[in-house]
Every structure is written in structure tokens, then in C-alpha cells.
Amino acid sequence: MKQRVVLAILVLVALLGLGSAANTPQPKFSFLVRPSTNGVHLVCQSGCAWTTLHADCPEAPCEFLVDEFGVQAGKR
């Protein structure tokens, strides 16, 4: 499960990087993502209505929707 969390984090970072590489406007919020024992730990760096969040990932796939207001389970 930890490998899937790390993979999800890498995909998120890659997607955020692609947006800035294409000269798109900078996001209005930013956060740091760290893997934890059971999921991910997020720390807001700017523009969020939250300071820290933790999202558990009890089963695969490990997906989360994160915005300036918080985190929700990912939906397809």
C-alpha cells in the first residue's frame, strides 16, 4: 500500500509540475504531501483554509481530491 501512496504522490507532483511548465497561472494555493503509515499527510504552504490534513488509504486505489478547503476521497 505504501508503494501506491508514493505513486499517487508522484503523479500529483508531476501533474502540478506540468501545469506550471505550460506557463499556466500559478495555483492560488499550495501544499506539501508526505506519505504516512496509512496514507498521506498534507501541510498547507499558502492559500488554504486548512493548516494540516491527514488522509487514510485503507484500500487501493489510493486517490484523494485536495483543494483549498480540504481533502475528500477520490472519485472516478
* Residues 24-35, mean pLDDT to the nearest whole number: 78
Task: Give residue 61's pLDDT.
Answer: 76
Which pTM does this prediction carry? 0.55
Q: Map grid coordinates 487501493 to a residue.
A: 60
Exposure string over 31-52, b if 16+ CB within 10 A, otherwise e: bebebeeebbebebeeebebee
Higher pLDDT among residues 24 and 50, named by residue: 50
36-72 pLDDT, tens digit per residue, is 888 888 899 888 888 998 888 877 777 878 888 887 7
Instruction: Please state, in angstroms and rounded to a whole number, the distance separating the CA atoms of residues 33 and 50.
Output: 14
